[in-house]
Structure 1
Amino acid sequence: MDDEQTNAAVLVISELVTNAVSHVGSGLVTVEWIRRDDLLLIDVGDEAPHKPPRVHLMTGDDDEHGRGLPLVMMLTRQFVVLRRDGVSGVAPQKIIRVAFDCPETGNDCCLAQAAWAGES
């Protein structure tokens, strides 16, 4: 991934985690990513499977909310909402899965390094 794609992925993770915390209120929020072929898949989960995300396709100039998910959809190759059933004491989750193109390169998909850069 180049710097622009990496920055977009970090922005998308930030938006999805912020939405999960803001709209769900409590419970576990998870972030997982995996490279599959030429895609970077990012899953952000929360413990509110009954609350689907609301995408506002039209917002007013002065609206403070409603721009995040359309932005996520513009920046990613794929946007899917999944449900993960709870097992062995783990609550069911709603999963927002996004995908980015991640072709084979010398630096590989180094999102983990980019996301935590600057932290000691």
Structure 2
Amino acid sequence: MPLQQALRHLQTAFVNFWEKRAGYPTFKSKKRSRRSAEYTSSAFRYYDGRLTLAKMAEPLTIVWSRPLPEGATPSTVTVSQDSAGRWFVSLLCEDVIEDAPVSGAVGIDAGLDSLLAL
């Protein structure tokens, strides 16, 4: 699945190049210190705080930095390795934000301390 996702990214890069939205795609060097693989929702299973990638029988042993928000489901998983050989897992989730009923004008402030404030 990560190879298929890499081809999808390459296709998008060339389409953007042909439609004059970006420059010619450049390729990563094999000597690059960081490697990563991206898994879409059909290539992993996340259930009850356990993550299992495609072609794996057992879930990964992960030290979570923080729990996922209630009701959030991962749509993409990126597994990467840094130059020191440590592995990291990033989960892309669509968060559920509940709207409170408001009567009157509302202003939104994108600040440094919080993502937004009403």
Q: Same fold (TM over 0.5)?
A: no
Q: Which structure would you say has the larger Rg?
A: 2
TM-score, normalisation: structure 2: 0.25
The one of the two structures with greater contact order (alpha-carbon pairs below 8 A, sep at least 6) is 1
